[in-house]
A and B are shown apart, each in its own frame.
Chain A
């Protein structure tokens, strides 16, 4: 009896990893993360799939509560539990399903193979430990470096993220640094183990525009230098337009659209994406389109539905100008509408081109 069980396990682990195209590094497949709360089941991430290519920058866009951050936390298995549970799907890093890993294996992956930077550079750093030690911690843990080696590497990393006087700065505490500098330290920390994937969750939202420009430039530059694949989570369509190659749009826990960035902005196939693009004021004078500057903005009426009380059909239907009975009755299939451009909408074919203003 015991033997057979062992054999089973052996054959399980020895099984061939799922065949992955060479250039894909991370695959999220039908991921479902639910939260069990007093208000009912909150379907924070529901049936979300995407692939991340080697060295690619993928943007995940959506408003607060659309599930973009929970998707990131689910990849790293950092969803607070209770109340959250990953109840379905797979997250494959080079073919290996992270949802089957035990806690020890996960610890070895976090910060080493996949790292994450967060929105709040103030609270993401430990205030009582010098930044050198904080960067070194991951190196000692994952790369087995000695204290001195880790410190050397920390200085090197600080120089890489262009912090002036890195030899001095490694000895300083987070409160001695400005917000922008702290975010640089976070990036140095995240990249110190040379991860395959970097998840940046609203990395510049708490920063000023001029500092945001610095940080985004840095992320793009380092990505190219180190070949790291980046998932950039943000609500800012401007950041997405300037930084990413491919974009996933999420609404109410589901992925509603995915396309190459230019294709998405010029030819949105989902009314939500279309609505978002036309509702943001967008420095019209600079981008050569001053037509909308004086006018009313196009509104998306209504508000985001509660995730614990989603309709049967399309979650966007109550706010959608194209909605009809079909949209209310059934959730639209997620289909490829044109080459590399996927959307979940019954009426994608009616959404020709970008309707602006």
Chain B
């Protein structure tokens, strides 16, 4: 039982000696290798989106009849589509769209959800009652169908896609924030703030809101991948990002039926891009959830 124990090895496993931000980062990588991999993948996409103009060898919109449907070769690493547009460049620029939709819809839906959840949980009363029923109704609707209806009625555009995707997020965020607010408002430090004569608004913003951010971040990271996937689905159905912008979903839908046999690169590469982006953000989200879960801390 009490055999020789390597103190240093045990300590290293527990993450002792971690110092500073860099040390904490390295510890995160060792403790959650999958999360770190997800982080790397996500970072690659973010870099691709930011530096798309620099990285992409071709103009993603420039057509070239001569290169129509050319297989992957030296000038077109991932081949070209029917109109001779470079698939590689389009995927890189497509990262912009995916990221814009992912982050945009998460922020929009998150913001509205936080406001509703905070007000519901703090004010209670009729506001809470009404909001909870609205949220119940929103959650009863199937997510994708709802986004479809939204996109169809608003018309295809980047903004509308973001709005359509953000809406199903609102009830989810509102729920989480509300339940957190409900337990936080009973905390003695909130009572102390009331006893000091602080206004309700100030208590909500300064004392409750910052303490709901951990669960919100967990939810938001998890939402990122599903937003990317929903955008791809919407675009695949022709309701997302309109032509000629390079959306991964649209790239798939344009080529899936006609060219899957003759020019499979038109399907394979956007497909891989979507899967990788979703996979990466999912892994990262899981790791962040574990990290912020108080039960995981020592």
Residue ID in chain B nearest A77 by CB atoms: B1
B14 at the interface (CB under 8 A from A): yes
Is A37 a contact of B5 with CB atoms below 8 Å?
Answer: no
Question: Chain B's nearest CB lies how many Å from the CB of A41?
Answer: 6
Is B298 a contact of A37 with CB atoms below 8 Å?
Answer: yes
Name the interface residues of A81-140: CB closer than 8 Å to any CB of B.
82-83, 85-89, 99-100
Contact string against B for A residues 14-35, beta-carbon threshold 8 Å, 1 for contact and 0 otherwise: 0000000000000000001000
Our pick among A40, A87, A99, A100 for the contact of B11 (Cβ within 8 Å) is A40
Residues of B within 8 A of A40 (CB): 11, 16-17
A38 at the interface (CB under 8 A from B): yes
Name the interface residues of B2-35: CB closer than 8 Å to any CB of A.
2, 5, 7, 10-11, 13-18, 27
A36 at the interface (CB under 8 A from B): yes
Query: Which residues of chain A have a CB within 8 Å of any CB of chain B?
Result: 32, 36-41, 82-83, 85-89, 99-100
Given contacts A36-B10, A89-B2, A99-B1, could you give 5 more A-B pairs where the C-beta distance is less than 8 Å? A38-B298, A39-B16, A41-B10, A82-B13, A88-B2
Is A37 a contact of B14 with CB atoms below 8 Å?
Answer: yes
Q: List the 5 shortest-distance A-B pairs measured between CB atoms, nearest first.
A: A36-B10, A38-B15, A36-B14, A99-B1, A88-B2
Is A36 a contact of B13 with CB atoms below 8 Å?
Answer: yes
Bin the interface of chain B by size. 10 to 19
Q: List 27 A-B contacts (CB under 8 A).
A: A32-B2, A36-B7, A36-B10, A36-B16, A37-B14, A37-B15, A37-B16, A38-B14, A38-B16, A38-B27, A38-B298, A40-B11, A40-B16, A40-B17, A41-B7, A41-B11, A41-B16, A82-B13, A83-B14, A85-B5, A85-B10, A86-B1, A87-B2, A89-B2, A99-B1, A99-B2, A100-B1
Residues of A within 8 A of B7 (CB): 36, 41
Contact string against A for B residues 235-264, beta-carbon threshold 8 Å, 1 for contact and 0 otherwise: 000000000000000000000000000000
In Å, the complex CA distance between A99 and B7 comes to 20
In Å, the complex CA distance between A32 and B14 comes to 19
Main secondary structure of the interface of A (DSSP, over half): strand
Is A86 a contact of B11 with CB atoms below 8 Å?
Answer: no
Residues of A within 8 A of B2 (CB): 32, 86-89, 99
Residues of B within 8 A of A32 (CB): 2
Residue ID in chain A nearest B4 by CB atoms: A87
Residues of B within 8 A of A85 (CB): 5, 10
**A82-B14 contact given A37-B298, A41-B7, CB 8 Å threshold:** yes
Residues of B within 8 A of A89 (CB): 2
Residues of A within 8 A of B10 (CB): 36, 41, 85
Residue ID in chain B nearest A80 by CB atoms: B298
Contact string against A for B residues 43-67, beta-carbon threshold 8 Å, 1 for contact and 0 otherwise: 0000000000000000000000000
Residues of B within 8 A of A100 (CB): 1
In Å, the complex CA distance between A37 and B14 comes to 5
In Å, the complex CA distance between A197 and B109 comes to 59
**A38-B1 contact given A82-B13, A83-B298, A85-B10, CB 8 Å threshold:** no
Name the interface residues of B48-106: CB closer than 8 Å to any CB of A.
none
In Å, the complex CA distance between A45 and B2 comes to 14
In Å, the complex CA distance between A82 and B7 comes to 13
Question: Chain A's nearest CB lies how many Å from the CB of B292?
Answer: 16
In Å, the complex CA distance between A14 and B7 comes to 33
Contact string against A for B residues 257-282, beta-carbon threshold 8 Å, 1 for contact and 0 otherwise: 00000000000000000000000000
Residue ID in chain B nearest A87 by CB atoms: B5
